[in-house]
Amino acid sequence: MFDLNKAIELIDEKLEIWFREIVKILPNLLLAALILVIGFFIAKWIRKLTLKIFSKISSNHTITNLFSTFIYITVLGIVFFTALSILKLDKAVTSILAGAGIFGLALAFAFQDIASNFISGIFISFRKPLHIGDIVSVKNYMGKVMEVNLRDTVIKTFQGKMVIIPNKEVFQNPVENYSLLGKRRLDLKVGVSYDADLEKVAQVALDALKNIEGLAPEEEITLFYQEFGDSSINFTVRLWCKSTEQIDYLKMGHDAIISIKKAFDQHKISIPFPVRTLDVNWPEKL
């Protein structure tokens, strides 16, 4: 039969043992709670401090929040493990985290492309090879930068296409930035006939270009003869556009071509076109 008195004695004995254990660990428990509370406020203070520091280094709010949160969680983790070590529970938690680490390693292999794009986005944010609004050329895509995210960079091409390029490709490949200097150089190739006075041609071309709209005032227009072509002697005129915008750059090239053509027509300078001679040998009739 069920002995009620014996059961009560057993429960009373267990409660007494638990009470003794609680009393024994009570100082450690209070100390661990105190460390958790103090550590929480320290972690919040360190988070605010790192947020101010990273905001001065990078203007990307996502990056600054990411790093400040990472440091905040790291400090909280240190505080949490310190409290557990006082309660002598750190070994059990370490075993659990070891198993979680193996699982995390498997996930890292599965999502390595996402991780590489994410890390590349962080490096891009600090190196700043491009900014929103810059005209760049990346992986054979040329256009204006619309967004720089942690995972990808969005470029709007001059044909009106929105191209999303993974940050891994942006970070590992050359980036041609046409906006960093605040001006763009235009190289215009022209050919003149072999019987032209080359010194006169050079002077006429330079005079024709010096007053076109959009030139960078601090840069000099230069002209160099470069080769003897099949039908012409070819030279290149280099002039700088004071704007990096594509429409201004194209308009300056448009105006330069018109100005040179008008000046050459006025001075009777011809721009020859390729001439091909075709010899046809008809077979003799038998």
Report pLDDT digits (tens) over 154-200: 999 999 999 999 988 888 888 999 998 999 999 999 999 999 999 99
Q: Where in the chain is the domain with CATH 3.30.70.100?
A: 184-266
Residue 207: partners with Cβ closer than 8 Å, 6 or more residues away: 263
99 burial class (0-12, 13-18, 19+ CB within 10 angstroms)? exposed
Tokens 């600090």 appear where? Answer: 126
Condensed to tens digits (0 to 9), the pLDDT of residues 120-161 reads 877 777 778 888 899 999 988 999 999 888 788 899 999 999
Q: Which CATH number fits domain 127-177: 2.30.30.60, 2.40.10.10, 3.40.190.10, 1.10.3720.10?
A: 2.30.30.60
* pTM (two decimals): 0.63
**Which fold is adopted by the domain 7-110?**
Helix Hairpins (1.10.287)
Residue 257: partners with Cβ closer than 8 Å, 6 or more residues away: 188
Q: Where in the chain is the domain with CATH 1.10.287.1260?
A: 7-110
Condensed to tens digits (0 to 9), the pLDDT of residues 206-221 reads 999 998 999 998 999 9
Alpha helices (H) along the chain:
4-57, 61-86, 90-110, 112-127, 167-172, 198-209, 246-266
Report the CATH number of the 184-266 domain: 3.30.70.100
